[in-house]
Structure formats: structure tokens, C-alpha cells
Amino acid sequence: MSRTWFITGTSSGFGRALTENLLARGDRVAATVRKVSALEYLKAQYGERLWVATLDVTDTEAVRQVVDRAFDNMGRIDVVVNNAAYALFGAAEEVSDEQIRHQIDTNVIGSIQVIRAALPRLRTQGGGRILQLSSEGGQITYPNFSLYHTTKWAIEGFVEAVAQEVAPFDIEFTIVEPGPAKTSFGGGLVSPPPMAVYDNTPAGEVRRALSAGAFPVPGDPIKMVQAMIDSVDRSPAPGRLTLGSDAYAKVRAALTARIAALDSQKDIALSTDADDFHPAAP
């Protein structure tokens, strides 16, 4: 079945791969980029099936205008893909106030505002699907990615709550959590000047490993993109879509450890209820 998609951040990485794949299979795409020239080759090939607009998701008013224009021009949008993001790489003490603000403005507030702009249009048309690109880093953490993890954990919480709010309108969400993949992600990292005091710490170890190319990157972005597309055919929508063997293993280990830690404190948790509270019978 042919669908119409709205995708942010299509200049490279998953956004570009999604756009290419969808157009090749006959779908229509409303794509946003920082520079229109990034998709000129696709526009020349696919014509009216590709609608392109420039967008910086940190500009909330522009987000609203572009989302409205996309719906108006395409008539209907079946799937919104919130993909635009980047990673700030550095220890928390190393990054600047401006870098922190831009990381949160892009990955959290930008994603929130795209969703907020799309919801009334999806509600009016009777429903739709939203894919929120997160990361294995929305469930696990690495030193030197503290601000990036902040944004991914934050947007996952936002999506989980909003999904409950709009479920009665047949609007469904899937949080996509890819592991390391052979994309341009590493080349897009923003790094502050390193502090020597962190050289012999886990942050320094991660910095050296990344610089040496020692991180395993098992993910095939084309296969991951296909899994994202296939997820839209599943009903109900999967709440999360973890992609990559490395991501699966690490996320599972993290969740298992959290459950074990929670269970180990069960007696403490129960002991802090008010004396006059009586839980309902199961």
C-alpha cells in the first residue's frame, strides 16, 4: 500500500536512506533538510512525489509552518518520522552552556514541537503513525555522551506519555532505537576541547576508542530502514523497535539489571506507604 511520509533530517543517515527507499518503492515523501540542494538528485528523479522544505527544528515557528505546508501540499500524511538530531560528544564538565542548550533544543524541543505541530493534523484526518528516532542510547549510557543520552531518555518519556493521550484518535507511536550503524553519525559528532584531567577516566577511554575506530559497528542502515518501514504495517504499532544485535544485547542487559535492582529494594519500597493506605486486592 502506497503511503505519504513526512521526514525530518533527510540530508544524510537514516533520514536520507528512508527517503530513497520510500521513493523507490512508490511512496510519496515530504522531506525537510537544512539545504534544499541536498536532495536535488532525488527531486529530479521523482518529481512531484518528493516535496522538499528547508527546516531547522530549533525554530519552533518554522516547524509549525513547514508541517502545515506539508499537510496542505500532500493532502494527507500517513507517517511522521522525527529523525533530525545530532550527538554532543564530551564529558559533562567539558561541554559549554551553549552546546548543552543546542543539543536539547534540537533533539528534545525540536522533536517535541514537530510532534505537537503534527498532532492536530493527524487527529483531523482520523489518525496516523509517528516514528520517533531515538537510539540504544535512550535505554543505556556511555561516558562522554551524557548530554546526548539526556535528550534520548527525555524524548522517550515524552513519547510514551503522549502516545497514551492520543491513542483515542488512532494516532500511534513507535520509538526506534538503533544501535551503532554504518551511517555518518560519527562524523556528525560535536566535541568540545577535551580536559586533560579526564584522560585516565572512562571518558578518556571512550574518546580514545572512538578516535581509533575501535567501536564495533554491526548495524546495516539499509536493513534498519527496512525494519522501520515494515513496522508501519504492524498493528498495533510496536511501542519500541530496537535494531541491531549489539543494541538488543545491551538494552536487554540494562533492563534485566534494573529489574533486579528494583526487586532487591521491594521491601524498602513497600515499607514507605502510609499506615492507613490499603492497596486494592489483585
DSSP conformation class of 106: I
The active-site residue out of 11, 111, 134, 231 is 134
Of 252, 243, 245, 246, residue with least CA distance to 222: 243
Active site residue 148: yes
Per the annotation, the verdict on 134 as an active-site residue is: yes
Choice among 11, 46, 142, 152 that is catalytic: 152
Locate 197 and state its grid cell: 584531567
Q: Which of 11, 111, 142, 148 is catalytic?
A: 148
> What's the sign of the alpha-carbon dihedral 119, 122, 128, 131?
negative
Asked about 198 being catalytic, the answer comes back as no
Distance in angstroms (rounded) separating the CA atoms of residues 14 and 133: 9
**Could you give the strand order of the β-sheet that contains 79-82, starting from the edge strand earlier in sequence?**
50-54, 28-33, 4-7, 79-82, 128-133, 171-178, 240-243
Rg (CA), the chain: 20
**What residues act catalytically?**
134, 148, 152
